């Protein structure tokens, strides 16, 4: 990856304007589904919503009342419109921050897992932003919460196809478009954890920004049922295993070892850690497994508190939080994302 010289020039994130506190969100859900959930589920839901790790989430909805009245067709329409709007905001800001315009864009890679449309989101973005009609565009699906890093790998490879210009890497999820209510523990946890958001990164060959040094992935397909979407009645239902923290931690440790050992780096050499906000329990389990000091997780904790888990864009929100505090020249950083597959991904970065 280093040989190609890909650097992250800028990162921008976008969240829906509508936000709601965990307390309000819990009250709203219990109001609408008190008659559908068992007494045990209602008690558990109250406990989950009261956990202090998440204070607020953002949703691409006009208001809660209309959200609970949606049919499947209305949901995919909202997914389409919201994913385009949030992605466009993130791309525009990222280009502006890098001092670039739409005419500099040569390639576009978009990933999502919370809705399927054909043609993909990329074609809508070409139209909405007025990108060149010969832009090389790719849509990736099915990577779940870990999708941002495979996206970035594809974008970096695509960048090498051009003599000039930039490639945009976009992760966008409208998790609220997959909302379901029921006594299943996976649904109860999902309803307290996930939010909506988008992120965009500009990649260029200039020796400026964050250099992409190396990446690693680990797949454990025999555990795919531990974290995935399943189809029921033509709609997506989130499926999460109670054993997920234990399963994920080993895969994460493997990819961290792969990218650090390749450069003969120790954990103490890594100044910045952008860890996906998979939830309080998973964060703590990964921290303990790889021996991370709690202080390295400040950005991850903050994003979890203010946004929850937005699936694939979340790791970009964490990196953006780190960038806002500043990364010094020569400092190392690691992005870590994990999710459906079961999969884990790590990307080693260094400030040029």
- The rounded average pLDDT for each run of 10 residues, N- to C-terminus, in the chain (352 residues) is 80 97 94 91 94 97 89 96 98 98 98 97 98 98 96 97 96 97 93 97 97 97 94 91 93 97 95 97 96 96 98 98 97 97 97 96
- Inter-residue contact 49 to 206 (CB < 8 Å): no
Asked if domains 7-204 and 210-351 share a fold, the reply is: yes
Which position has the token pair 């954890």?
193
The pLDDT assigned to 34 comes to: 87
Where helices occur in 34-71 by DSSP H, the ranges are: 39-49, 64-67
Whether omega before 324 lies within 30 degrees of 0, making that bond cis, reads no
Q: What's this model's pTM, rounded to 2 decimal places? A: 0.96
CATH of domain 210-351: 3.40.47.10
pLDDT at 348: 98
The reported pLDDT for the residue numbered 107 is 98
Distance, CA of 145 to CA of 52 (rounded, Å)? 22
Check residue 2 and give its pLDDT: 57
Picking from 132, 135, 73, 77, the residue whose alpha carbon sits closest to that of residue 110 is: 135
**Are the beta carbons of 175 and 236 closer than 8 angstroms?**
no
The pLDDT value given to residue 1: 63
Check: CB of residue 261 under 8 Å from CB of residue 238: no
Assigned CATH topology for domain 7-204? Peroxisomal Thiolase; Chain A, domain 1 (3.40.47)
Q: Are 305 and 56 in contact (CB under 8 A)?
A: yes
DSSP for residue 202: E
pLDDT at 234: 86
Phi, psi of 292 (to 5 degrees): -80, 135
Domain residue extents for the chain: 7-204, 210-351
Say what the pLDDT of residue 311 is: 98
Predicted pLDDT at 342: 95
Could you give the angle at the alpha carbon of 260 between the alpha carbons of 254 and 262, nearest 5°?
A: 100
């Amino acid at each position: 990856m280093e040989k190609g010289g890909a650097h992250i020039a800028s990162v921008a994130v976008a969240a829906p304007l509508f936000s709601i506190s965990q307390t309000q969100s819990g009250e709203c859900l219990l109001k609408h589904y008190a008659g559908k959930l068992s007494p045990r589920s209602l008690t558990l839901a109250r406990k989950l919503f009261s956990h202090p790790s998440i204070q607020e989430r953002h949703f691409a909805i006009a208001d809660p009342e209309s959200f609970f009245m949606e049919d499947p067709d209305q949901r995919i329409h909202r997914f389409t419109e919201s994913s385009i709007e949030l992605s466009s905001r993130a791309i525009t800001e990222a280009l502006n921050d890098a001092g670039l315009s739409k005419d500099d864009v040569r390639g576009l890679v978009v990933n999502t897992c919370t809705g399927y449309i054909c043609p993909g989101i990329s074609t809508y973005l070409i139209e909405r932003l007025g990108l060149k009609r010969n832009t090389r565009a790719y849509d990736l699906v099915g990577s779940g919460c870990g999708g941002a890093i495979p996206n970035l790998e594809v974008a970096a490879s695509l960048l090498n196809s051009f003599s000039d210009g930039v490639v945009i890497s976009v992760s966008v999820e409208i998790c609220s478009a997959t909302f379901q209510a029921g006594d299943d523990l996976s649904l109860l946890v999902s309803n307290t954890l996930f939010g909506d958001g988008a992120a965009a990164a500009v990649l260029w060959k200039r020796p400026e920004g964050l250099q992409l040094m190396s990446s690693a992935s680990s797949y454990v397909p025999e555990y795919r049922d531990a974290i995935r979407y399943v189809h029921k009645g033509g709609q997506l239902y989130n499926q999460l295993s109670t054993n997920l923290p234990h399963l994920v931690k080993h895969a994460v440790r493997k990819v961290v070892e792969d990218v650090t050992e390749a450069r003969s780096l120790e954990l103490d050499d890594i100044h910045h850690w952008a860890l996906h906000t998979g939830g309080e329990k998973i964060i703590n389990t990964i921290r303990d497994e790889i021996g991370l000091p709690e202080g390295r997780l400040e950005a991850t904790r903050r994003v979890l508190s203010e946004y929850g888990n937005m699936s694939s864009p979340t790791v970009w929100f964490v990196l953006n939080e780190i960038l806002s505090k500043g990364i010094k020249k020569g400092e190392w950083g690691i992005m870590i994302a994990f999710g459906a597959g079961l999969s884990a991904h790590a990307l080693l970065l260094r400030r040029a």
